[in-house]
Amino acid sequence: MLLPKWLPITTDYLAALAANNQKDKVDDHPIFAYCIVWLFDVGELGRAIELAFRAIELDQPMAGSIRRQWAGFIADTVFDWAEVQAENGNSIEPYFSMVFKRVVNDWKLPEPVTAKFYKFAGLALLRTTNGDIKPTQVGDISRLQQADALLEKAASLHKHAQVKTVRNKIDMRIRALEAYGSQEQGQ
């Protein structure tokens, strides 16, 4: 594995920048860039995301063999990881939210990419413990409304977001819960 050899060089590089008060210095440091990619590859998402965000702050070029910008690379890598985790009923936090926040607020990514993040965030609110997406299993109206708002945003960003059916199911579930609640109050 290459990380034990090269990661200390990256750590020293960042420490030297901090010690010399060069927090915004633009410096092409390929070892730094490759270490970030390798951290993603070995599944050390926490450290990888932390360093990748730092690379963006430093305007660090992407590793030479990858023809992408940092934001798109991070978004796609974390999205792919989150999909696998969610389908297996595992938590997608804190990594998905960290990147989702940047996708929504800071990064200019293609609309289909941003839309898939909104869609995934909405669907995540509807997942059961085993990873299935079932609005009928959600008993919290505000959670359903939050999911619907995220899915609506996905649809507004990209016409092929494919959220219409699940939004209809959310609407039916909300109406059923409201009807049940009004019956409870009538008794």
One-letter-per-residue 3-state SS of 121-134: HHHHCCECCCCCEC
Can you give the pLDDT at residue 183? Answer: 63
Are 155 and 163 in contact by the 8 Å Cβ rule? The answer is: yes
Q: Is the pLDDT of residue 23 over 80?
A: no
CA distance 168 to 136: 11
Give pLDDT tens digits for 93-136: 999 999 999 999 999 999 999 999 999 999 999 998 888 999 99
Q: Is the pTM of this model over 0.85?
A: yes
The phi-psi region of residue 2 (left if phi > 0; otherwise alpha if psi is between -120 and 50; otherwise beta) is alpha
Can you give the pLDDT at residue 19? Answer: 84
Exposed e or buried b per residue across 17-28, where buried means at least 16 C-beta atoms within 10 angstroms of its C-beta: beeeeeeeeeee
CA distance 66 to 52: 14
Q: Mean pLDDT of all residues in the chain?
A: 92
Distance, first Cα to last Cα, the chain: 67
Exposed e or buried b per residue across 35-48, where buried means at least 16 C-beta atoms within 10 angstroms of its C-beta: bbbbbbeeeebeeb
**The tokens of 20 are what?**
């010399």
What are the CA-CA distances from residue 72 to residues 55, 69, 105, 113, 166 (Å)? 13, 6, 14, 9, 27
- Cβ neighbours of residue 59 closer than 8 Å, sequence gap 6 or more: 24, 26
Q: Is the pLDDT of residue 186 over 60?
A: no
The domain ranges of the chain are: 1-67, 69-187
Beta bridge partners of 133: 127
CA distance 106 to 123: 22
